[in-house]
A and B are shown apart, each in its own frame.
Chain A
Amino acid sequence: MAQKQPDPPRPTDAELEILTVLWSRGRSTVRDVHDAIALRKPTQYTTVLKTLQIMAEKGLVRRDEEQRAHIYEASRPREWTQSQLAADLLQRAFSGSAKSLLLGALSAHKVSREELAELRKFLEEYEKGTR
């Protein structure tokens, strides 16, 4: 891999969508990305292609040119981009309270590591008890 490149800029909404596809599906061809996006809204293949090319220039994605169909992959992990996006004002100001509006399978707060360990232990012990 090349040396460490400068950090890419914050992705736009359209770019973020493509990144999401790449994180979700892993390395993909433009066709794959387009298919995934078209599931949700009608999009031109060329639009996706162009956006991906721009993103490659920006350093948001990496392009593997070894095969005939170019394969793209996100250059940064999701967590990194997520922290970049935290700079978004609305997101930053309200993500905390927004969580109370979301109905998640887990509460809005993370469980501490100790608790997590305790939890696993409990489950394991429980299992031992029933076996």
Chain B
Amino acid sequence: MRLLEACIHTPLAKALGWSLAHFLWEGILIALALAVLLFLCGPGPARLRYALCCLAMLAMPVAFGLTLAVTLRAPHAAAVVAWPPRAPESSGEAQQGGAASPRPFTERVREALPWLVPFWMAGVLVFYLRSLGSWMAVQRLRRRGVCAASAAWQERLQRLRLRLQLSQGVVLLESCLVDVPVAIGFLRPAILMPVGLLMGLSTDQVESILIHELAHIRRRDYLVNLLQKFVECVLFYHPAVWWVSGVVRAERENCCDDVVVKLNGDARGYAAALATLEKNRWPAGEPAMAATGGSLMKRIHRLIQQPERPRTAAAPIFAVGLLVVSLGVAVGGWQGKAAQPLLNGRGSVSARPVPAATVSAEIPPARNLPVAPATASRPHTDRSASPLAPAQTEHLWGGPGVPLLAQAQAQEPVRKGGPLRAQLATPYQKWLTEDVAYIITDEERSAFKNLQTDPEREHFIEQFWLRRDPTPGTLENEFKQEHYRRIAYSNEHFASKIPGWKTDRGRIYITYGPPDEIESHPSGGKYERPAAEGGGTTSTFPFEQWRYRFIEGVGNNIIIEFVDPTMTGEYRMTMDPSEKDALRFVQPPSLPTAAKAGATVKVLGNGAALLAVPLAGYGDHKVNVLFRITSMTGRPVADFEDTVPGPVPSYTRFVSLPAGSYRFTVTLKDVTTGAVAKDDVSFEVK
């Protein structure tokens, strides 16, 4: 106790005590300045916001250190800083928030302050030990329960790494201990993926997540995060520190999100990937947990740039006014009473907004876009202007939502034959809609549509084939050769009144290659109906059955049937109920869906699904068929209505859907008898 008391009375302890007390308001002021500046930036570039947050984070220990140095350097001041008891009005009261009370109170405060120090030290120690423990736990995470991801993925990671211009080597590990993908380490960084995720998500989704993690590594976020921890530990007692730290973390994620969107150009796809990832964290049957602030929701909103509440122009002005006034009050209050030396310490604080303000003037160059001044309301004004000049806004948009919005814009004019068609003219348009229509991914398609110049498109096409080259490094690209051979084959063999590549057979042939077996009945004829279908014989339209021993992502022993009900040579893909037994092997048991009264869905790769309903039972009655696809929330996705003049074995429809869960509802109405039959099936497109 005596020892402690001796310590307490050292000048250092006194200075520390005062610094701790002063930091209370310093911290608040920094946080306030940051809040105002962030408000002024609005949803501006994440990098700017992040820089501001980091500055604030840095300003905190600097302010604390300066205060300490100043109080130490002037040992007299240490006493004086502490407001000589004789002073008529001591600023100590103002800072302690105490009311103007008789002298003994300030005296007591002055006496008591150094006693804060041991408590503070104990706190710092606790926080450090905790950080050390977590750091050790993280180090173990890297060694324990991990295995290297497959070579294909490692290779993909390296390619992404090069695209991000990251020279540092990165290891990709699968871990059974993490439940979300994480990046660890700064000297030998590693990305840990939860086991099974590489398989569970689509390639593009995994890639976007990998880009996010690589962006963390490139930005050395791990190191920054450690430093941030250090500050948190020292100034743990101030809520403002935790708040700023939290904002830094959030903005950091935003920065990485921006990198992803910039690189693969599909904000929506990425947002969906994040949502899927979050969903995968829920093992089935786990009870719901309390909400945790919805940071993911915010990020996704941001990614998609949902317009927020429109901000009036008055708001920023008001904010600036508030900042100026509060600073003025603070400074004025200070100069009025404070001890001279401390002014330096405070100077560092109030200086903060100045450089920051100059930074904010540089927003447009940072986004390297020729945009008007970056005001808080920029995205909104652009948005409101967009219907007038879609092509133009596409250039103008600087926000992270660019590619997505541009895509949304792009789709419209294409449909209407608007200005964009001219942009994506001829060879490139044809390349997209004909050459690679079946094999290009949605992400690639939207990225391609966003390209502005022909050299970019050329480069994209080159990369597109390069990514698929089974033997990179050789001159030949077997994939490309085979692809064009398939197109040529389709055009030669499957053409009717529409070009061969556009037919169902062409589509299947181009997507999956030549089948292992073809059984062809070009003239239809007698067909032995299996007993399950009622037996007997029936006549059929011309039909073909293709058998694939194996299709990657779909399954083994796939039989696809094509029927030519119009007798024009245009075979349409069907799913004859008599093939059900064979189709049972088509998918792993999780994918297929049980048919109740005959409606079936076969999910093929690439988001394609084949909807079918048997009509054999209707004989030569006319049947009204209504197919409806809704999302699981009941939102209609697609409707098909058709009247079938029997007799046909079945009615099928081929649809292409984005990944998700859907419900397929069939309504059959026998026009002759008026009987109505219904059925529904839910299915999932991966």
Q: Which A residues are within 8 Å of any B CB, using their own CB?
A: 13, 16-17, 19-21, 23-25, 36-37, 39-40, 78-79, 81-82, 85, 90-91, 93-95, 97-98, 100-107, 109-116, 118-128, 130-131
Q: B229 an interface residue at 8 Å Cβ cutoff? A: yes
A40 to B174, CA, bound (A): 11
Query: Could you tell me the distance in whole angstroms from the C-beta of A97 to the nearest C-beta in chain B?
Result: 4
Bound form: Cα–Cα A37–B271 in Å: 33
B277 and A97 form a contact (CB under 8 A): no
Q: List 5 A-B contacts (CB under 8 A).
A: A104-B182, A110-B282, A111-B294, A122-B300, A131-B411
Q: Which residues of B contact A107 (CB under 8 A)?
A: 253, 292, 295-296
Q: A79: which B residues are within 8 A, CB to CB?
A: 283
Q: Which of B146, B209, B216 contacts A20 (CB 8 A)?
A: B146
**Assembled-state Cα–Cα distance A118/B291 (Å):** 12
Known interface pairs A82-B176, A122-B300, A127-B268; A24-B291 also in contact (CB < 8 Å):
no
CA distance A78 to B298 in the complex (A): 30
A97 touches B130 (CB 8 A): yes
- Cα(A120)–Cα(B140), bound, Å: 35
Specify the chain A residue showing the minimal Cβ separation from B270.
Answer: A105
Knowing A98-B138, A103-B182, A103-B216 are in contact, say whether A20-B174 is a contact too (CB < 8 A).
yes
Interface residues on B, range: 35 or more
Q: Interface of chain A, helix or strand or loop or mixed?
A: helix
Q: Is the CB of A23 within 8 A of B195?
A: yes
Q: Is the CB of A102 within 8 A of B147?
A: no
Proximity bits, B467-500, A CB within 8 Å = 1, else 0: 0000000000000000000000000000000000
Considering only residues 171-224 of chain B, those with a C-beta below 8 Å from chain A are 173-178, 180-184, 195-196, 198-199, 209, 212-213, 216, 221-222
Q: Are A123 and B148 also in contact (CB < 8 A) when A100-B229, A103-B216, A109-B292 are?
A: no
Which chain A residue shows the least CB distance to B194? A78
Chain A residues, Cβ within 8 Å of B633? 120-121, 124
- B274 contacts chain A at the CB level, 8 A cutoff: yes
> CB within 8 A of B145: which of A16, A101, A104, A112?
A16
Number of A-B contacts (CB under 8 A): 195
Interchain CA distance A119-B196 in the complex, whole Å? 23
Residues of B near A112 (CB, < 8 A) are 288-292
Q: Check B297 against A115 for contact (C-beta < 8 Å).
A: yes
- How far, in whole Å, are A112 and B292 apart by their CA atoms in the complex? 7
- On whether A110 and B183 interact (CB within 8 A), knowing A20-B176, A90-B133, the answer reads no
Q: Please name the residue on chain A nearest to B228 by beta carbon.
A: A100
In the complex, the chain B residue whose C-beta lies closest to that of A16 is: B145
Q: Is the CB of B275 within 8 A of A98?
A: no
Report yes or no: A118 in contact with B297, Cβ–Cβ below 8 A: yes
Q: Are A123 and B294 in contact (CB under 8 A)?
A: no
A40 in contact with B148 given A102-B138, A119-B275 (CB within 8 Å) = yes
Asked if B295 contacts A16 (CB within 8 A), the reply is no
| 19 other A-B residue contacts (CB within 8 Å) besides A36-B150, A105-B212 | A16-B144, A17-B146, A19-B145, A20-B176, A23-B176, A79-B283, A101-B229, A102-B184, A103-B184, A103-B216, A105-B256, A105-B274, A106-B281, A107-B296, A109-B293, A110-B292, A112-B289, A122-B306, A123-B275
In this assembly, does B136 line the interface, its C-beta being within 8 Å of a C-beta of chain A?
A: yes
Residue interface mask B137-169, A partner, CB < 8 A = 1: 110110111111111001000000000000000
